[in-house]
Amino acid sequence: MKIAIPVNEKKVESGVCMSFGRTPYFLVNDTEEKENLFIENTASKSTGGAGIKAAQIIVDNEVDVLLTPRCGENASGVFQNAGIKMYKTVGDSVESNIKDFISGNLSLLEEIHAGLHDHGKK
Amino acid sequence: MKQLLILSGKGGTGKTTIASAFIRFSDPEAFADCDVDAPNLHLVTRQGSVSNKKNYYGLPRAKIDVTKCIKCDICRQNCRFDAILLDGTYKVDTFACEGCGVCEVLCPANAITSKPAVDGELLLYEKDKNIFSTAQLKMGSGTSGLLVTEVKKQMKEAKPDAGFAIIDGSPGIGCPVIASLSGVDMVLIVAEPSLSGISDMKRIIETADKFGIKTAVCVNKSDINMENTEKIKELCKKEKISFMGEIPFDPEAVNAVNKGITIAAIDCISGKAAKKVYEETAKLIFEKGDEKK
Amino acid sequence: MIMEKNNMKIAVLSGKGGTGKTLVSVNLAAASEKAIYIDCDVEEPNGHLFFKPDDKKEKEVSVIIPEVNNDLCNGCRKCVDFCRFNALAYIKNRLFVFDEICHSCGGCVMLCPQNALTERKKSIGKIIEGVSEQVYLYTGMLDTGEASGVPIIKELFQKTKDISDKDIFIDCPPGSACVVMESIKDADYCILVAEPTIFGVHNLNLVYELVTLFKKPFGVILNKYMEEKDPSEEFCIENKIKILGKIKFDKALGKLNSEAQIAVRTNEKYKVIFTSLLETVKKEVRNETASDS
């Protein structure tokens, strides 16, 4: 299974990023291959619709589960349609969040915030 | 970080005057001015010196290379924003251009490219242990919502462990207001006791409600119309919105503001009343049993 | 250039909210023999609260959003890759459109090689027309949650572009962003309303830059004028800006305004003041446009 989590830097020790749509990178952990892959989040530079573009990146990388502190309604709509579940991260350690998810200790992300509409519309 | 956002819907209600008073009372480690179209907070707050200045790039604008242009008019016919002008040669109206890229992709002569545009400037001030994040949008630019998000992001990154932050918001109910609402813990609406003020207050309550954020109201210049002030109080009771108090009209406030001083720094009735409103607000935002998302 | 038409289009703006834009535009319209009043402050329209118009007509304003026929879509993703605003996503062999993000540029529809995309209308607000004695109103209203009022303002001017027998007073949104630019685009003359505070001057400067950039003739009305040192008056003197008039700070006027009463219809004293202001404005507009070459 592939688990994605937004991270501040391209290393496992870096913290979990507070934003989903504008995180600089995603870490994708492949539990079978026991591999970590870093994906650059090109959506972070968008003036708008960042959540949607970031969600598209996650879908295109065949991720099964997303661990994130928060998620907007547009991105969550994408995930619902893609059948990707979202779990709420606790604290900012990447390793402990992945561990907690695997042992069933993370809960589903319930609060979805409304779209941020900062999309350059005049 | 508990974030308090101060909004008003209508302009001129005293949002910035009250925000500056709250900043004086609470001495928060972080505060921000999200009214990027017309930032005013710095005029009544001691902000220290500039510690960071950054260009803010909005959407790229189209640019036509007249040497390649074959004047087929396809760009102008297909631009939904009336942003292509013909004045002898073809030119892009950079104020109207939304950076959609349609002209670029349709141009048979490859004469159109996208140029990044500086749409504003982000500023970070530091004084002792406090930081002040603000920005100025370049006139006529779009993307003010994104710049608001950048101002808040800059504030959080400059002082991530601040316990309390005050954000002076922008008027209206559009893009910049929606962007400023994200992630805040409480909104304090400064209402004015006029029919316009009440009408605008209702619209901003509706907007904040869509985001499920704890909302409270206070009335400024309350004694210019006591009946309307009562109307506002009744409305709050009916809609179950917390009422934080009233601040009377105070000619001393204008004097203070014109001297670049906050009402909290002088002995005046509006300052005293603002202090009471601040204390109620602080109680509400820090109340126990409050799970931050 | 000689102005052939008989009427003037006057935009009233201020940079800052609460300075008296609506007070001035509403009362100038009411002091005219017959006039059109256009409320371009679509996020917080207030003029209608004063006029309380009759015989109201409502018309929806919509923008165009793409719609996909999933049977025709083959998943090439040309549209997703093209969209600069990230309003499209392709998930599990289906295309999704995000309405609020879409800028209605039409690009995706034009580019789809399978013709799988068509356009549908989405309502973002409305225009309400009405009559109040000798004034005909057009009020633009943006739905809460929508980010941009520009399409409504464009529609307001589309509806009124052929009017040539009545003077038109345009109540502009505060600030100097795109909605303001859109509101003053076709104005013959701009009245800048200023208040005697440092916030007022700071924001007066912003709209002063705006009207200068747009090469619009303009003048200033100083509102809430007190005999003491007025920073806005000083600004005008320093920059050799024409002061059209001064409306004295008047508690009674403030109260009338807070009750959404039209001053010129309520009290002869105000009728005199605004009629005189109207004459001054008319003279200025005639001078400015006559000397316009």
What are the structural domains, with CATH classification, of chain A? 2-102 (3.30.420.130)
Predicted confidence (pLDDT) per residue in A26-63, tens digit: 999 999 998 999 999 988 877 778 889 999 999 999 99
A117 three-state secondary structure: coil
In Å, what is the CA distance from B122 to each residue of B133, B139, C202? Answer: 8, 14, 18
B20 three-state secondary structure: helix
Residues B73 and B14 in one domain: no
Q: Compute the count of residue pairs across chains A and B with CB atoms less than 8 Å apart.
A: 53
Residues B111 and B201 in one domain: no
Residues C177 and C284 in one domain: yes
In Å, what is the CA distance from C235 to each residue of B32, B40, B97, C8, C189? Answer: 28, 17, 33, 27, 20
C177 three-state secondary structure: coil
Counted domains in chain C: 2
C75's tokens: 């998943």
Residues C180 and C254 in one domain: yes
Q: Which residue has the tokens 């009245």?
A: C191
Q: What CATH number is associated with residue C50? A: 3.40.50.300
| Interface ipTM > 0.90 | no
**What are the φ and ψ backbone dihedral angles of C27, each rounded to 5 degrees?**
-75, -30
Q: Beta-strand (E) ranges in C133-217?
A: 135-142, 167-171, 189-194
Chain B, 250 to 289: residues with Cβ < 8 Å from chain C are 254, 257-258, 260
Residue C17 lies in a domain: yes
Query: What pLDDT does C159 receive?
Result: 95
Query: What pLDDT does A44 receive?
Result: 80
B229 three-state secondary structure: helix
Residues B39 and B75 in one domain: no
Residue B6 lies in a domain: yes
**pLDDT tens across the length of chain C (293 residues):** 455 567 999 999 998 778 899 999 999 999 999 999 999 999 889 999 999 999 899 999 999 999 999 999 999 999 999 999 889 999 888 999 988 788 899 999 999 999 999 999 999 999 999 999 999 999 999 998 787 888 999 999 999 999 999 999 999 998 877 889 999 999 999 999 999 888 888 889 989 999 998 999 999 999 999 878 889 999 999 999 999 999 999 989 988 988 999 999 999 999 999 999 999 999 999 887 776 54
Residue B153 lies in a domain: no
Residue C66 CA to residue C115 CA, distance in Å, equals: 12
Whether A116 contacts chain C with CB within 8 A: no
Predicted confidence (pLDDT) per residue in B30-60, tens digit: 999 998 888 888 888 887 888 899 998 887 8
Q: Is the pLDDT of residue A117 over 60?
A: no
Q: What CATH number is associated with residue B209? A: 3.40.50.300
Per the structure, the complete domain to which residue B269 belongs is given by 2-48+158-285
Residues B32 and B74 in one domain: no
Counted domains in chain B: 2
Q: Is the pLDDT of residue B219 over 70?
A: yes
Residues C75 and C25 in one domain: no
Residue B201 CA to residue B8 CA, distance in Å, equals: 7
Q: Given an 8 Å threshold on Cβ–Cβ distance, is C94 in contact with A81?
A: yes
Q: Which residue has the tokens 């059109």?
A: C36
- Chain B positions touching C101 (Cβ under 8 A) are none
B144's tokens: 């003010």
B170's tokens: 């922008």
Mean pLDDT of B228-232: 96
Q: Given an 8 Å threshold on Cβ–Cβ distance, is C16 in contact with B11?
A: yes
Identify the residue with better confidence: C145 or B97.
B97
Residues C258 and C185 in one domain: yes
Residues B30 and B86 in one domain: no
Question: Which of B250, B280, B274, B281 is closest to B21 using CA atoms?
Answer: B274
Query: Min CA distance, C216 vs chain A (Å)?
Result: 22
Residues B36 and B167 in one domain: yes
Residues C103 and C225 in one domain: no
Per the structure, the complete domain to which residue C208 belongs is given by 9-61+124-290
Radius of gyration of chain A (CA): 13
Chain A, 44 to 83: residues with Cβ < 8 Å from chain C are 46-50, 52-53, 55-56, 59, 74, 77-78, 81-83
Q: How many CB atoms lie within 10 A of CB C238?
A: 8
Predicted confidence (pLDDT) per residue in A74-107, tens digit: 899 899 999 999 999 888 799 999 999 999 999 9
Say whether pTM exceeds 0.90. Answer: no
- Chain B positions touching A111 (Cβ under 8 A) are 293
